[in-house]
Structure 1
Amino acid sequence: MFKFFLLALVPAMAMAAVEFSACPNGAPTPTTLTVNDCSGSPCQLTAGAPVDALATGIVSPADSATATAHIVVRLGGLDVGFEIPSELENACAVGITGGCPLTAGTAFNYALVDDSLDVPARGVEVEIEVGLTGDGGVALGCLRFNAVIN
C-alpha cells in the first residue's frame, strides 16, 4: 500500500537521481526524481521494504483545487493490477508539499512513501507510472520509471 507524507519526512540527502520518462498524455514532468538510493535505470527495489520517492519541480499547467493520484505498474506494457487505495487518491491531502490549490505556472513537489512495497510482479523489470490529475481532468504531472522488485 502506498502512503504519502510531506517532503520533510523524506531524507533527500540519502536519495539519488532516477532516470524517468514523460507519460504519453503530455503531462508535465518533474525536474528530478529520487527513489531510495537508486540511480540510473532500472531502479532496484525490495518487496516488503520501504520506498521513499520524491518528484521535485513539477510545474502545474493549470489552476487546480484538486489533485488525484494514480499509480500503474506495467509488465511488458500490460497493467499488473496494482490499485492505489481510495484513501490515498487525494494528493492534495497526502503527497503534494503544501497541499492545494495549485497555481498555473507554479512548481510543486510530490512525495510518496510506501512503508512496505507490495507489487504483484517480482524479479522482473516493470514500468511504474505515477500521475496526478486536477480539476476537469487536466493532467498536472506524470512520469514513468523502470524498476526491478525483488
Structure 2
Amino acid sequence: MFKFLLVAALVPAMTLAAVSFTACPNGAPTPASLTVNDCSGDVCTMTAGQAVNALATGIVSPIDSASATAHITVRLGGLDLGFVIPQELANACTVGIQGGCPLSAGTGFNYALFDDSLDVPARGVAVEIEVGLTGDGGVALGCLRFNAIIA
C-alpha cells in the first residue's frame, strides 16, 4: 500500500537534489523546484520501506483559497494503480502546506511530503507519480508529475 504522511516540519535538513518533473494536463501551477530524497534527473529511484522526503517550492496560488486537498496518483504504463490518499492525510492545509491556509492569489507557497515507509506494489518498474492540490471550488492550486522506480 502506498502510504503518504504529509508533514511540513519533518523534511530533513539533508542536501536534496532537483528532480525533473512535468506539468499536469489540467494547467495547474507547477513549483519552481522539486526535491525528492537524494534523487536528481529524470527518474527518481526510491527504495520500498525507506522514507520519502519531498519538497515542492515556489508554487503560486492562482486563487484565494481557504482549503487545499491533496491527491496522489501512481500510474504504470499510463494506467492508474488506484492509490487513494487516506482521508486524514488529504487536508493539505493542516499537513503539507508550509504555513497552512488560507492561500492568497499570486502568493507563493511550499508543499512538503513525508512518507516514513514507502510501500508500493509496483516494484522494479518505472511509474509516474502525480501529486496535486485542489482548492476552493475545485480549482487546481498546483500539480506535477515525475517518474520513479520503486526498488
For residues 46 and 61 of structure 2, the distance between their equivalents in structure 1, rounded to whole angstroms, comes to 29
What is residue 31 of structure 2 aligned with on the other side? 30
What is residue 116 of structure 2 aligned with on the other side? 115
What is residue 92 of structure 2 aligned with on the other side? 91
| 4+ residue segments displaced more than 3 Å | none
Q: Is residue 45 from structure 1 mapped to residue 46 from structure 2 by the alignment?
A: yes
Please tell me the residue identity of whatever aligns with 2:92: A
How many residues end up aligned between the 2 structures? Answer: 149
Q: Normalising by structure 2, what TM-score?
A: 0.96
Classify the secondary structure of the residue corresponding to 2:22. coil
Please tell me the residue identity of whatever aligns with 1:133: T
Shift in Å at residue 9 of structure 1?
2.4
What is residue 66 of structure 2 aligned with on the other side? 65
Alignment gaps of 5+ in structure 1: none
What is residue 17 of structure 2 aligned with on the other side? 16
Shift in Å at residue 13 of structure 1?
4.2
What is residue 5 of structure 1 aligned with on the other side? 7
What is residue 148 of structure 1 aligned with on the other side? 149
Classify the secondary structure of the residue corresponding to 2:128. strand
What is residue 106 of structure 1 aligned with on the other side? 107
For residues 112 and 33 of structure 2, the distance between their equivalents in structure 1, rounded to whole angstroms, comes to 12
Q: Normalising by structure 1, what TM-score?
A: 0.97
For residues 143 and 10 of structure 2, the distance between their equivalents in structure 1, rounded to whole angstroms, comes to 22
For residues 87 and 113 of structure 2, the distance between their equivalents in structure 1, rounded to whole angstroms, comes to 15
Alignment gaps of 5+ in structure 2: none
* Equivalent pair of 1:31/1:58 in contact (CA under 8 Å): yes
Q: Percent identity?
A: 78
Shift in Å at residue 11 of structure 1?
2.5
Please tell me the residue identity of whatever aligns with 2:94: A
For residues 119 and 70 of structure 1, the distance between their equivalents in structure 2, rounded to whole angstroms, comes to 16
What is residue 78 of structure 1 aligned with on the other side? 79
Larger deviation, residues 114-123 vs 137-146: 114-123
